[in-house]
Structure 1
Amino acid sequence: MSVEGKIKEAAGYVKEEAHEHGKTPESQQKAQEGRDLRNEGRIEDGKPPKTGAPGSGDHGK
């Protein structure tokens, strides 16, 4: 696992969590950017991206 991939995944997680419950389009866009960054880090580390809806418990398995 690469350090860069772990950092991207962690940063994306924080950004998603900070904005996922916002109701504004800007907040939802930032949450999606966080998901995209997290998945980019997961892919770099050879993990499958998380494809389920946020909070669904589906971890892309």
Structure 2
Amino acid sequence: MSIEGKAKEAAGYLKEEAFEHGTSPESQRKAEEGRELRNEGRIEDGKAPKTTEPGTGAKD
């Protein structure tokens, strides 16, 4: 597990959580960017990426 991967996952989580409940296209785009960053960090650490839609609250 790398420090960089953990940092990316944490930053992506924060960005996703901050924008996932917004209704504007801009908010949804930022939530998706957060999800992509989170998944990038997860993959670097050997974890499976999140596959559910941001904002569903599903435990993946």
CA RMSD of aligned residues (A): 1.0
Letter of the structure 2 residue corresponding to residue 37 of structure 1: L
CA distance in 2: counterparts of 1:50 and 1:2, whole angstroms: 18
CA distance in 2: counterparts of 1:28 and 1:22, whole angstroms: 7
Q: Which runs of 4+ in 1 moved over 2 A?
A: 53-56
Q: State the match for 1:22 in structure 2.
A: 22
Count of residue correspondences: 59
TM-score by length of 1: 0.90
Deviation at 1:10, TM superposition (A): 0.2
Q: Unaligned 5+ residue runs, structure 1? A: none
Deviation at 1:52, TM superposition (A): 1.4
**Structure 2 counterparts to residues 7-46 of structure 1, below 5 A:** 7-46=7-46
Q: State the match for 1:47 in structure 2.
A: 47
Deviation at 1:51, TM superposition (A): 0.3
Identical aligned pairs, as a percentage? Answer: 71
Q: Which moved more, 1:49-58 or 1:33-42?
A: 49-58
TM-score by length of 2: 0.91
